[in-house]
Amino acid sequence: MTESPLRRTSLYDEHVALKGRIVPFAGWEMPVQYTGIVDEHQAVRTAAGLFDVSHMGELRLRGEYSAHVVDYLVTNDARRLVDGQAMYTCCCNERGTILDDLIVYRRTQDDWTIVCNASNRDKIVGHFARAAQNHCEFEDESDATALIALQGPRAFDVLVKLGPDAAKLRELKSFHFRPAVVAGVACMPARTGYTGEDGVEIFCPWEEAPELWRAILEAGKPLGVKAAGLGARDTLRLEARLSLYGNDIDETINPIEAGLGWVVKVEKGDFVGRAALMEIKARPLPRKLVGFEVTGRGVARHGYLLRDSDGREVGVCTSGSPAPTVGKNIGLGYLPSAMAEIGIPFLVDCRGKHVEAVVVKTPFYKRAQ
């Protein structure tokens, strides 16, 4: 069977012009870095970074019963949203394990946008399309929608330069969104992100993304804004302890053990996976996702085994990296609940070398409010 050719976002030529290092990611050719992961990471923490996240999936549900369909497919309570508000949630199967983590956007009671991970687009499109059948309209708008994330403490200082409408976006509350014109492009900015910093994610028409991208970079240049790739996106989200699908969460993991119990609202009524999740909540958890710091000489990486002090295998590292802002080697991983308390030491098997580590409080980094 021949593999499908890698796809390109409408910003591909912009990445090449900026000398971005292009790598395959979830079926796409995406920039992993431009000037360097640490440099881009620090730009986001101190000024702002601009990310192309157009590979993500955007689904639209419309009609009288669209709210019911959305609420039935997610673990969080979509009914509490008001127009122009968004919500982070999990989408589970009947076993209570995670099909994907999503952001749900309520445009109106009868109009919803769902953003899913690129690697899960086909699966989630099928899942939502089946549930919508005979209940509401469903459309996969991913191929017509670009998504650009401007993240960092200077993000809104940049937007001020891009028109009177864009200047007012600072008034948006966290996890709220509204239509706006930014640098002459009609778009929908949302005060959401995946870096631990303030900022916006901007939905716009696929073909107009390059114009918007160039305008933001030009306006941000005097403020220290830089294009940032997937590498910095990963180190930033890890410092903020934000889960990555395929690493920290997947269809073998439930939201409770992943530390995402706060998005599981069993009291809201029926939804896919509710019965299984109620059972999971009623029993002691065998394992938990923990944050840890590597105190010995070594870097934890995805898939490395975690061992107790006697060298017995007890868990696995799901994400790990040097953390530029924190200045330490950090990681996330699953450990038995008895070992998941802050301060408990264990070992990371770094390619046969057993390196000391300790469970620590997370997030590793939290921005000053």
> CA-CA distance, 249 to 299, in Å (whole number)?
21
> CA-CA distance, 148 to 52, in Å (whole number)?
5
Per the prediction, the chain carries an average pLDDT of 97
Q: Is the pLDDT reported for residue 191 higher than 70?
A: yes
Q: Is the pLDDT reported for residue 284 higher than 60?
A: yes
Tell me: do 212 and 320 sit in the same domain. Answer: no
The band of 108, judged by pLDDT with boundaries at 50, 70 and 90, is very high
Asked whether residue 109 is assigned to any structural domain, the reply reads: no
> Where a domain ends, among 186, 214, 239?
239
Tell me: do 318 and 220 sit in the same domain. Answer: no
Q: Is the pLDDT reported for residue 282 higher than 60?
A: yes
Asked whether residue 98 is assigned to any structural domain, the reply reads: no
pLDDT digits (tens, 9 = 90+) for 312-341: 999 999 999 999 999 999 999 999 999 999
Retrieve residue 230's tokens.
Answer: 């997937």
pLDDT digits (tens, 9 = 90+) for 244-272: 999 999 999 999 999 999 999 999 999 99
Asked whether residue 172 is assigned to any structural domain, the reply reads: yes
In 3D space, the residue among 54, 60, 103 whose CA is nearest the CA of residue 207 turns out to be: 54
> CA-CA distance, 223 to 217, in Å (whole number)?
10
Asked whether residue 205 is assigned to any structural domain, the reply reads: yes
**Domain containing residue 230: CATH number:** 3.30.1360.120
> CA-CA distance, 298 to 355, in Å (whole number)?
6
Containing structural domain, residue 313: 284-360
Tell me: do 323 and 182 sit in the same domain. Answer: no
> CA-CA distance, 40 to 21, in Å (whole number)?
13
Tell me: do 26 and 151 sit in the same domain. Answer: yes
Any idea what DSSP says for residue 207? G
How many Å from the N-terminal Cα to the C-terminal Cα in the chain? 52
> Where a domain ends, among 211, 239, 267?
239
pLDDT of residue 368: 84
CB 289 within 8 A of CB 258: yes
Number of domains the chain is built from: 2
> Where a domain ends, among 209, 239, 269?
239
**Domain containing residue 339: CATH number:** 2.40.30.110
Beta strand spans in 64-214 (E): 85-92, 98-108, 111-116, 137-140, 145-151, 180-182, 185-190, 199-205
Tell me: do 232 and 348 sit in the same domain. Answer: no
